Amino acid sequence: MRVRKFSMLAVAGVAVGLSLTACSGSDSGSDSASSSSSPSATAGSSAGSTSSAQPGASAAKTGAGSATTTGSGSAKKSGVSCTNQIDYAGDPRSNAEINSIGEQTGHCPAPEKGSKPAGTPKKPGVSCTNQIDYAGDPRSNAEINSVGEQTGYCPTPEKGSKPAGTPKKPGVSCTNQINYAGDPRSNAEINSIGEQTGYCPPVQH
């Protein structure tokens, strides 16, 4: 009886051991299965994220391309300033500013219609003082011509007190036009008055 009981206990112990081994085997199998499946899942998710990122990248490139801007207005002709290419009469900006925009952008800006400057449109290559008679205008020739260059319009003559003397001939100095013998002033001073006023001053004795 004792031998029988002992053998039955041994058989029961072996059976328990086998069941435990089977359980642990199944657990390790599931662990290995899960561990083997996780890399593929990770790879799949990685591939998915990569493929989904590509459209975004191309969209970003497209967006960058669409951000390119071109200058407003007309394309600037090579070697031609914008003010010689387009009529900017009435534009409050100076010729220098308009042409600078054209050089920087390659496009002549659209004319802006501000308040039209008073005066007469300036002829290309002709100074205002050679285009209009400013006799009696208190401003100097340099000031008048500067207004014409900046606005494209020769300003309306201002009638101040008429300078005393003789109207200066264009291109001729006062000392070559009038005999200033005995005048205490220097030739430079006399000619400067003529340039500034357009009138050769009366001879002083």
State the pLDDT confidence band at 34, using cuts at 50, 70 and 90. very low
- Predicted TM-score (pTM) above 0.95: no
Task: Specify the pLDDT at position 161.
Answer: 63
User: pLDDT tens for residues 36-81?
Assistant: 444 444 444 444 444 444 444 443 333 333 333 344 678 999 999 9
Task: Using CB atoms within 10 Å of the CB of residue 144, give its burial: 0 to 12 exposed, 13 to 18 middle, 19+ buried.
Answer: buried
Name the residue type at position 156. T
**Tokens representing residue 148 in the block:** 């014409």
Please, are residues 136 and 160 in contact by the beta-carbon 8 Å criterion? yes
Stated as kind and residue range, the H or E segment containing 35 is helix 2-66
In angstroms, the first-to-last Cα distance of the chain is 167
- Please give the Cα distance from 49 to 37 (Å, whole number): 18
- Please give the Cα distance from 138 to 160 (Å, whole number): 6
Average pLDDT, the chain: 73
User: pLDDT tens for residues 136-168?
Assistant: 788 888 889 998 998 888 998 887 666 778 989
Q: Which of 161, 167, 175 minimizes the C-alpha distance to 129?
A: 167
Q: What three-state secondary structure class fits 74?
A: strand
Task: Specify the pLDDT at position 116.
Answer: 66
Please, are residues 119 and 139 in contact by the beta-carbon 8 Å criterion? no
The DSSP 8-state label assigned to residue 184 in this structure reads S
- Please give the Cα distance from 164 to 182 (Å, whole number): 19
Name the residue type at position 8. M
Q: Is the pLDDT of residue 8 over 80?
A: no
